[in-house]
Amino acid sequence: MRFLCFGRGAFAYAGCLGLYARSCSERYMRVAFPSGSHRAGMRVRKYSQDETSRGVGVRSACYHLPHRTVVRLQGPDTGLFLQGLITNDVGLLEEPGKGAMYAHMLNVQGRTLFDIMLYRLKESDAGLGVFVECDSTVEAALLRHFKMYKLRKKLHINPCPELSVWAVLPKQRPTEQAASKPELSSPDKGLVLVTDPRTAEMGWRLVLDNQVDPLDIITSCHKGDTEEYHRHRYAIGLPEGVKDLPPGVALPLESNLVYMQGISFSKGCYIGQELTARTHHTGVVRKRLMPVCLSAPVQDLEEGAALQTQSGKPAGKHRAGVGKLGLSLVRTANAKEVLTLKSKNDAVVTVQASVPDWWPEDVKNSYRE
């Protein structure tokens, strides 16, 4: 029986920002591959944090997300309208304490068009109100999609260019110590402040008026650079936006929508539901979007650049990344191997996939001894 060393990604605080930076080569532990398999064991990424963080008194970091925008839906038929378009159950938004929801909107072939976040607004006489957060580059396409299916439903659909989206990440690791929700000194200025529904490692989502500075209303908080936010996402393997989830190409189950609490298999029909439900019930997902570590940063990559095994066989496609960190759609049959990636100028780097901490325990345990 062969063994492969699992990489332990080392998380260290990036100054007082509290952002985790993952290293590709750190300490290793020896583990066996799953019983019955003839491939090397999968690297299951584990994280540790530098206890010598700076920024005394700073509990979180705020990151402006200019690549995300907000559309407002309001009216008596808002819930009914969204229920037929998104993968998740809109009814869950009405449950106590459920202020946000993650979901995808699919085309009729069951491929992702938009990855969205839904935020429930305060009740009013105008009916259910929802902020829909999406990638800013597809806002116009989302509005057209909404208007095409609105028909005679009673709701208003309006873009909100006056609002901005922020991510608030805690300094401490949520898995090691429960992070408390940031306090707003002026609650009326925070339109939305909710836990990110995808994973606790993504902290909280904040929606503000463009004129409001988050540092004026959140205590013990520093501003961080948007690129560091993306590094954090890629380090933990969480997709977001059109680069990670190309419209009309990405499939929701391959994109780990189940693991991000973004789909309901009991809600009933919605656009693209048939293929998604059939794939789920067969239990066969042959490719997964996984965090990867490159042996060196690569600048000139074609969109959907091919991953190959050491013997030259197809093993998946690279999606996007920052520096050495990224996300790739990897064939599960080859996910335990060291793969290769070639740039436009024929530079070749090695690629190693890993299993995120926030994936379900049974998935992670299947790759442990």
For 169-215, what is each residue's pLDDT tens digit? 997 765 555 678 888 888 888 999 999 999 999 999 999 999 999 99
Among the listed residues 333, 331, 336, the one whose alpha carbon sits nearest the alpha carbon of residue 355: 336
Report, in angstroms and rounded to the nearest whole number, the Rg of the chain calculated over CA atoms: 21
What's the CA angle centered on 177, arms 175 and 182, to 5 degrees? Answer: 105
Domain parsing of the chain, residue ranges = 60-171+182-236, 286-368
Q: What is the C-alpha to C-alpha distance for residues 238 and 22, in angstroms, rounded to an integer?
A: 14
Q: For the chain, what's the residue count?
A: 369
Q: Which of 92-101, 292-301, 304-313 is modeled with the greatest confidence?
A: 304-313
For residue 227, what pLDDT is reported? Answer: 96
| pLDDT per position as a tens digit, 104-115 | 999 999 999 999
For residue 23, what pLDDT is reported? Answer: 44
Instruction: Say what percent of the chain tops pLDDT 70.
Output: 80
**pTM summary value:** 0.83
For residue 175, what pLDDT is reported? Answer: 52
For residue 228, what pLDDT is reported? Answer: 96
For residue 5, what pLDDT is reported? Answer: 37
| Cα torsion angle, 285, 247, 156, 270, sign | negative
Residue 24 exposure: Cα atoms within 13 Å on the Cβ side:
19
For residue 155, what pLDDT is reported? Answer: 95
For residue 42, what pLDDT is reported? Answer: 52
Neighbours of 269 (CB within 10 A): 10
| Cα torsion angle, 215, 219, 220, 221, sign | negative
For residue 57, what pLDDT is reported? Answer: 60
Report residue 94's pLDDT band, with 50, 70 and 90 as the boundaries.
confident
Q: What is the C-alpha to C-alpha distance for residues 13 and 16, in angstroms, rounded to an integer?
A: 7
Q: Which of 36-40, 77-81, 202-206 has the lowest mean pLDDT?
A: 36-40
| 5 or 318, higher pLDDT | 318
Average pLDDT, the chain: 84
| CATH code for residues 286-368 | 2.40.30.110
What are the φ and ψ backbone dihedral angles of 109, each rounded to 5 degrees? -85, 0
Report residue 28's pLDDT band, with 50, 70 and 90 as the boundaries.
very low
Report residue 1's pLDDT band, with 50, 70 and 90 as the boundaries.
very low
For residue 14, what pLDDT is reported? Answer: 38
For residue 65, what pLDDT is reported? Answer: 98
Say yes or no to pLDDT of 132 above 90. yes
| Residue 43: C-alpha distances to residues 6, 305, 325, 332, 338 (Å) | 4, 22, 15, 13, 10
Q: What is the C-alpha to C-alpha distance for residues 58 and 44, in angstroms, rounded to an integer?
A: 31
For residue 6, what pLDDT is reported? Answer: 36
Say yes or no to pLDDT of 320 above 50. yes
Q: What is the C-alpha to C-alpha distance for residues 182 and 150, in angstroms, rounded to an integer?
A: 37
Instruction: Say what percent of the chain tops pLDDT 90.
Output: 66
| Mean pLDDT on 277-291 | 92
What are the φ and ψ backbone dihedral angles of 169, each rounded to 5 degrees? -105, 135
For residue 353, what pLDDT is reported? Answer: 95
CB-based contact 341:298 (threshold 8 Å): yes
For 35, residues 6+ apart whose C-beta sits below 8 A from its C-beta are: none
| Cα torsion angle, 242, 196, 67, 15, sign | negative
Q: Does domain 60-171+182-236 have CATH number 1.10.10.60?
A: no
Q: What is the C-alpha to C-alpha distance for residues 1 and 37, in angstroms, rounded to an integer?
A: 9
| Mean pLDDT on 225-241 | 97
For residue 292, what pLDDT is reported? Answer: 97
For residue 68, what pLDDT is reported? Answer: 98
| Mean pLDDT on 274-301 | 92
Burial class (CB in 10 A: 0-12, 13-18, 19+), 223: middle
DSSP 198-245: S-GGG-EEEEEETT--HHHHBSSEEEE-HHHHHHHHHHHT---STTTS
Token pair of 46 as six digits:
């584990």
